[in-house]
Amino acid sequence: MENRLHNFNAGPAALPLPVLEEIKENFLSFRGSGMSITEISHRSAQFEEVLDDAIQRTRRLLNLTDEYHVLFIQGGASMQFCMVPMNLALPGKPLNYIDTGVWSAKAIKEARQQVQEVKVIASSEDRGFSYIPYDYCVDKEASYLHFTSNNTIRGTQWHQFPDGDGVPLIADMSSDLMSRPLDIQPFGMIYAGAQKNIGPSGIAMAIIRDDMLNRVPHNLPSMLKYTSHKENRSLYNTPPTFAIYVIDLVLAWLEDTVGGLGRIEEMNRQKASLIYEVIDNSEIYQGTAEPSSRSLMNITFRLSDENTKERFLVEAKNNGLQGLNGHRSAGGCRASLYNAVTVESTESLAAFMREFEESFT
Ligand SMILES: Cc1ncc(COP(=O)(O)O)c(C=O)c1O
């Protein structure tokens, strides 16, 4: 399509083109209603159908059993950093966290504002968050063990989730939920800001197990209680209806067009290996994550100096390749290869990286 760039943004990020086209086509009259999806009541049958479809598709894609509830909550993933300890800390029991970088650290900071005993049982800070720390010991009496499944900024990912040894796991899956199949059983809860693999920003998908809801203290503000959102099927107040509509379209694309999470994982592996292969055979690109911890979603690398990096970014942009600058806290470069980034876009990036390197020699 004309004027569309190859989009490697970290979030908000690329959405599937068929989804954007469908939004455009139906924007003025949603399913023949004569009104836009942004103009109809969140309590109308039409919107309820959208919401229900998004929930059912999530249930099917992730193989959720009846004990799990799918919720949509405003405030992005950052709101979950405080809602998780507020709702799910058990009185007198410690919270366990694993620190793999900025997002984990933010979750830990919010937990410390709610609960006295927050233990960081493992951290990869000693080597610049370049790896996933598999060496840890979980407190048997911990309320939960929290970790970040994919470190968007440093480009590391848990390929085997931590073993909670009976303690419920809680994971911030903002940058890899729906990118691979998931065994939900050890999780008390997972959550994700939507703006990477699921939809627009400002909303989080939260999936919570029934027994965790018994922990919610009565005296919390209603909007901050998981029980309010569960009892009202994410319609406690007016939800971001447009965002939920887009999420439903993205999930429909994932389920019906792509063919589910097994298939998307294969595609994500194929894309990531195209770029890691360039890095591993290069004299000028250095991957920043340790190979066994490398993310399939966010590929982080450095060039020899700032001038070369700037030249790389400018030339990439001139070639229609957008969003390759690293996070401001990490520097370097980053290619985010979320579900909606096509194999073709990734091939264009790999080819450009090779050409750029050749122009040096
Ligand atoms: C892993 C992770 N957690 C949390 C966040 C914060 O999400 P939000 O901006 O929706 O609060 C991000 C955003 O990039 C993220 O990558």
Per-residue model confidence (pLDDT) at position 321: 98
Encode pLDDT of 256-283 as tens digits.
999 999 999 999 999 999 999 999 999 9
Query: Does residue 336's CB lie within 6 angstroms of at least one atom of ligand 1?
Result: no
Query: Does residue 152's CB lie within 6 angstroms of at least one atom of ligand 1?
Result: yes
In the chain, what is the greatest distance between 2 CA atoms, to the nearest angstrom?
67
**Using CA positions, which residue lies closest to atom 12 of ligand 1?**
174
| C-alpha distances in Å from residue 226, one per residue of 88, 113, 135, 173 | 9, 19, 32, 18
Residue 350 has pLDDT above 90, yes or no: yes
Residue 165 has pLDDT above 70, yes or no: yes
Q: How far apart are CA 324 and CA 100, in angstroms?
A: 22
In a mutational test of the pocket of ligand 1, which residue from 78, 97, 203 has the highest number of ligand atoms less than 8 Å from its CB?
Answer: 78
Residue 361 has pLDDT above 80, yes or no: no
Instruction: Tell me how far the alpha carbon of residue 131 lies from the centroid of ligand 1, in angstroms.
Output: 19
Per-residue model confidence (pLDDT) at position 360: 78
Per-residue model confidence (pLDDT) at position 1: 55
Instruction: Tell me how far the alpha carbon of residue 223 lies from the centroid of ligand 1, in angstroms.
Output: 20
Residue 105 has pLDDT above 90, yes or no: yes
317 flagged as catalytic = no
Instruction: Tell me how far the alpha carbon of residue 10 lies from the centroid of ligand 1, in angstroms.
Output: 10
* CA-wise closest residue to 275 among 238, 310, 324: 324
Query: Does residue 77's CB lie within 6 angstroms of at least one atom of ligand 1?
Result: yes
Query: Does residue 149's CB lie within 6 angstroms of at least one atom of ligand 1?
Result: no
Instruction: Tell me how far the alpha carbon of residue 75 lies from the centroid of ligand 1, in angstroms.
Output: 10
Q: How far apart are CA 273 and CA 295, in angstroms?
A: 10
196 flagged as catalytic = yes
Query: Does residue 239's CB lie within 6 angstroms of at least one atom of ligand 1?
Result: no
Instruction: Tell me how far the alpha carbon of residue 28 lies from the centroid of ligand 1, in angstroms.
Output: 31
Work out which ligand 1 atom sits closest to the CA atom of 10: 14
High-pLDDT (> 70) share of the chain, %: 99
In a mutational test of the pocket of ligand 1, which residue from 74, 83, 103, 176 has the highest number of ligand atoms less than 8 Å from its CB?
Answer: 103
Work out which ligand 1 atom sits closest to the CA atom of 149: 1
Query: Does residue 175's CB lie within 6 angstroms of at least one atom of ligand 1?
Result: yes
Query: Does residue 148's CB lie within 6 angstroms of at least one atom of ligand 1?
Result: yes
Section 180-190 average pLDDT:
97
**Using CA positions, which residue lies closest to atom 9 of ligand 1?**
76
**Using CA positions, which residue lies closest to atom 2 of ligand 1?**
174
Section 301-322 average pLDDT:
96
Section 92-116 average pLDDT:
97
Q: How far apart are CA 184 and CA 189, in angstroms?
A: 9
Average pLDDT across the chain, whole number: 97
Residue 3 has pLDDT above 90, yes or no: no
Per-residue model confidence (pLDDT) at position 10: 98
158 flagged as catalytic = no
Query: Does residue 199's CB lie within 6 angstroms of at least one atom of ligand 1?
Result: no
**Using CA positions, which residue lies closest to atom 5 of ligand 1?**
77
Section 329-357 average pLDDT:
97
Identify the band that residue 2 occupies on the pLDDT scale cut at 50, 70 and 90: low
